Structures are given as structure tokens and as C-alpha cells.
């Protein structure tokens, strides 16, 4: 046996011999990566054993590294030394799995010692760290419920959660992820873990998992791959607020988030002139090399027309649930050679840039059809000449209709 092979053997053996004797713990980054490839059989099996005690497997604080085929874990002795004086922390992995204060849940509340009177019926956000104070099994459904208390708060809130909605967490001690780490190839680790958990697999499954893991690792290193460009009726679909990532920002406060779909006919039925750039939420997954999610965390209209008389594409005002994501839209625009607004304002006369030069420019779009029953509020391309079906950001142009009304109407003048 060569020295390399022998060292690989020792490393794989270490997976069995030196991992924690408690619940399986993965880092947030490792969980996010597995979630994006959950259609893979072995990725799903790993997510299934996360947070569970499994005979023959020991807790292992698995973390990704800067090498796409390598992960790291922590030896038992060091981890026990770090966590010995800490309570056992848990993290909410799925929001919305809490019991309401309906009287039908009173028996479960009593079994857990939870007093609902005068208490907020709290639905903790995903990622919330806390403690499990009590646990009970429902006699009617067989489901396990826990009394969950928020951690590190002056007035900690409590709620009753379905236990499937929480998983173990390392709490706030970063030493668990930064000291005494051991590296191993991801395929060897997965083989060892699933073998200990008595999961059936063949060598081809490990090969497929490893290949998809490395491809997903590369994908996650390029956030711009979470963008997509849609047209037609999909524009109306992604304008609707139920398809937004929850939170605030300009996206969730948009005046067009809850209007009827026919407000967007001018967008949907001019597919060559108007598209929508969307940024999918982080909780999506990759299928056939394409990232998808049921929610978006940002959107911006993409117009195809002429800028100062020259063919160009212009990305309109960006709406996001987090301000920091606006920069991603700008990077995506520059990557594709589009113009965009320097300031994400509501004003049509805003300066435009392509990342190299900036100017006060006139952008015009020749629509296929401009006459509709209803219209959306438009930040930039709000002036329409009905004689030529030309849409523009130029308030000095010949226009008949101005789209600055949130109720589906239009006016014949522009009010600054």
C-alpha cells in the first residue's frame, strides 16, 4: 500500500473513530449546499440524518472548505471541551411549524408546561437560535412537539413547535468551526456516514453525489447564477407578492405587488421589447445545471430599444428585499452589457450607466402594442406616444399617455 493510500485509509478511519457522540451537526453552508442538490439521493439522506442520533455515527460539525472536493470535521475531544459548559442549542430550520393558540392544542400546551394566556403566539423565523425546554408526543397525531425558547434575549419568547422544524446548532461559538479541523474528501466522508447510518447505496451513488457536489460548489461560488430572465405572462407571475421572499425592502413595499395581472399586459404582450430580470431566493435548488426557486428576492424590468438612437438594452429600477442585492443586479447588468440607473429612484430622468460611462440619456422602445385597458405604475419608461407606439423615459418627447398611476389608469401630463 502506498503512503498516499495508507494516509487516505487513516483519514477515513478517523471519520469513524473521532467524531462526536451526539447529534449530527452540519454548518449552515454545508446545509445550504446539500439543499440545493436535494434531488440527489445521497444529499437527501444526509439531510435526513441531520440532527439525529444514529448508532455508529458520531456528531461531526461538518463544514465546507475552500476546496470543492474537501470538507472538514472536528475531533470529539476538542468539541466536547468547547461545548461542555454550554446548553444544547437548536435552530429553527422551517418557519411556520408552530401551534396556534387554538383551544384544540391545550392538551399539548399543558403537557409542555406552556402558558398561552397573555403570551404572543410567536412564529420564529428560520435560523432563530434557541433552547428546547420540554418535549411531548401528541396522542392523536403521533407528532413530537417541543417548547422552544429564544436564546440571548432580555425577554426571551416561547412557542410550541413541531420538532421537525428544528435542528441542532452550534450556538454562537465560532471555535467549533475554526479550530482543530480535520480535512477529508467529501465522497469518503459521505460513504462513512451513510454506512454507519445503514443507508443502502452503491459506488455509482457516491460518484454521482461527488460530481453533483462539486458542480453545486462551483455554482454557489457565482451568485450571479441565481439570476434568470423571463418574459410573457411570467412577468405578471413574478410581480405578485406571494412569490416574494418575505421581509421588507423596495420589493415587499412595491405598489404593484398585489394588483391584478392585466395591469402588466403592456409588459407581457411585448416580449421582444420587455423582459423581467429576477433574482431567485437562496432556498432554491439546482436541476440539470439550472438554479430555480419558488420565490424571488429581487426583480427589474429589462427593455430592448435604442439609447440616444443606438441599439441597447436597459435594466430599469431594481426592487429587492435586501438593499445589498441591488449591487448584484448592477454586476449582472455590467456582465451582460446593459445600461442601468445609477440611482434606483422613481424618476424617469435619472442618469444611466453601463459600468464604464455615465450620462443623461434618452431611451426609446418601439412597442408591438401600446393600447391596453389597464397599465402599471412605471418608474422610468412612463411616456407613450400612441401614434408610433413608442415608449420613452423622455418627458420632452411627444407623448399621449403617462403611466404614473397605481390604480391602472393613465394621464396625459407628467407631474414632477
pTM for this prediction:
0.63
Residue of 177 and 58 predicted with greater confidence: 177
**What's the pLDDT at 9?**
42
Query: Considering the chain, what is the average pLDDT of its residues?
Result: 88
Cα–Cα distance between 87 and 133 in angstroms, integer?
Answer: 11
pLDDT above 90: residue 179: no
The answer to whether residues 50 and 91 touch, using CB atoms and an 8 Å cutoff, is: no
pLDDT above 50: residue 3: no
Say which DSSP state 59 is in: B
Tell me the pLDDT band of 278, cut-offs 50, 70 and 90.
very high
The answer to whether residues 128 and 92 touch, using CB atoms and an 8 Å cutoff, is: yes
pLDDT in tens, 189-222: 999 889 888 999 999 999 999 999 998 898 888 8
pLDDT above 60: residue 373: yes
Sign of CA dihedral 377, 229, 68, 59: positive
Tell me the pLDDT band of 132, cut-offs 50, 70 and 90.
very high
Q: Which residues of 307-339 are buried (b: 16+ CB within 10 A; e: fewer)?
A: beeeebbbbbbbbbbbeebbebbbebbbeeebb
Cα–Cα distance between 350 and 361 in angstroms, integer?
Answer: 9
Cα–Cα distance between 207 and 406 in angstroms, integer?
Answer: 54
Tell me the pLDDT band of 18, cut-offs 50, 70 and 90.
very low
Cell of 124: 420564529
Tell me the pLDDT band of 7, cut-offs 50, 70 and 90.
very low
pLDDT above 70: residue 145: yes
Q: How many CA atoms lie within 13 A of 378 on its CB side?
A: 30
A 10 A CB-CB count for 134 gives: 14
Average pLDDT rounded to a whole number, residues 89-96: 84
Average pLDDT rounded to a whole number, residues 257-270: 97
Cα–Cα distance between 369 and 270 in angstroms, integer?
Answer: 7
Cα–Cα distance between 76 and 17 in angstroms, integer?
Answer: 9
**What's the pLDDT at 10?**
41
**What's the pLDDT at 14?**
45
Which of 245, 158, 184, 243 lies closest to 10 in space, CA to CA?
Answer: 184
pLDDT above 70: residue 94: yes
Range of lowest pLDDT (123-127, 185-189, 388-392): 123-127
**What's the pLDDT at 265?**
98
CA angle 36, 37, 40 (to 5 degrees): 160
Percent of the chain at pLDDT above 70?
91
Average pLDDT rounded to a whole number, residues 322-331: 88
Cα–Cα distance between 164 and 87 in angstroms, integer?
Answer: 20
Instruction: Taking each helix axis as running N to C, give the angle between helix 41-49 and helix 203-220, from 0 to 180 degrees, rounded to the nearest 10.
Output: 80
Amino acid at each position: 500500500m502506498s503512503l498516499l493510500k495508507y494516509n487516505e485509509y487513516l483519514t477515513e478511519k478517523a471519520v469513524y473513530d473521532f467524531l462526536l457522540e451526539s447529534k449530527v451537526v452540519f454548518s449552515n453552508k454545508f446545509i445550504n449546499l446539500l439543499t440545493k442538490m436535494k434531488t440527489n439521493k445521497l444529499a437527501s439522506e444526509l439531510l435526513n440524518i441531520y440532527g439525529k442520533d444514529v448508532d455508529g455515527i458520531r456528531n461531526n460539525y461538518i463544514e465546507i472548505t475552500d476546496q470543492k472536493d474537501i470538507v472538514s470535521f472536528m475531533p470529539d475531544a476538542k468539541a466536547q471541551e468547547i461545548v461542555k459548559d454550554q446548553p444544547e442549542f437548536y435552530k429553527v430550520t422551517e418557519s411556520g411549524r408552530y401551534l396556534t393558540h387554538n383551544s384544540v392544542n391545550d392538551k399539548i400546551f399543558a403537557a409542555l408546561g406552556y402558558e398561552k394566556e397573555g403570551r404572543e403566539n410567536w412564529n420564529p423565523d428560520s435560523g432563530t437560535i434557541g433552547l428546547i425546554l420540554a418535549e411531548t408526543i401528541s396522542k392523536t397525531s403521533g407528532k413530537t412537539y417541543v417548547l422552544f425558547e429564544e436564546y440571548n434575549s432580555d425577554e426571551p419568547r416561547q412557542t410550541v413547535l413541531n420538532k421537525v422544524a428544528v435542528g441542532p446548532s452550534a450556538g454562537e461559538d465560532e471555535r467549533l468551526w475554526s479550530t482543530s479541523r480535520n480535512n477529508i474528501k467529501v465522497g469518503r466522508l459521505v460513504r462513512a456516514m451513510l454506512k454507519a447510518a445503514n443507508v443502502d447505496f452503491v459506488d455509482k451513488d457516491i460518484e454521482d453525489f461527488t460530481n453533483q457536489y462539486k458542480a453545486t460548489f462551483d455554482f454557489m461560488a457565482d451568485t450571479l447564477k441565481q439570476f434568470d430572465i423571463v418574459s410573457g405572462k411570467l412577468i405578471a407571475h413574478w410581480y405578485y407578492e406571494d412569490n416574494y421572499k418575505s421581509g421588507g425592502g423596495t420589493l415587499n413595499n412595491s405598489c404593484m405587488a398585489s394588483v391584478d395581472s392585466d395591469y402588466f399586459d403592456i409588459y407581457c404582450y411585448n416580449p421582444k421589447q420587455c423582459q423581467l430580470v429576477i433574482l431567485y431566493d437562496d432556498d432554491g435548488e439546482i436541476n440539470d445545471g439550472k438554479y430555480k426557486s419558488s420565490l424571488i428576492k429581487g426583480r427589474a424590468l429589462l427593455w430592448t430599444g435604442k439609447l440616444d438612437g443606438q441599439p441597447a438594452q436597459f435594466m430599469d429600477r431594481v426592487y429587492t428585499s435586501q438593499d445589498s442585492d441591488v449591487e448584484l443586479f448592477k454586476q449582472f447588468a455590467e456582465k451582460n452589457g446593459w445600461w442601468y440607473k445609477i440611482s434606483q429612484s422613481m424618476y424617469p430622468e435619472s442618469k444611466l450607466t453601463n459600468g464604464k460611462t455615465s450620462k443623461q440619456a434618452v431611451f426609446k422602445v418601439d412597442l408591438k402594442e401600446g393600447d391596453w385597458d389597464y397599465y402599471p405604475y412605471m418608474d422610468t419608461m412612463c411616456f407613450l406616444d400612441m401614434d408610433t407606439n413608442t415608449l420613452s423615459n423622455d418627458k420632452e418627447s411627444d407623448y399621449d399617455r403617462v403611466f404614473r398611476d397605481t390604480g391602472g389608469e393613465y394621464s396625459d401630463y407628467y407631474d414632477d
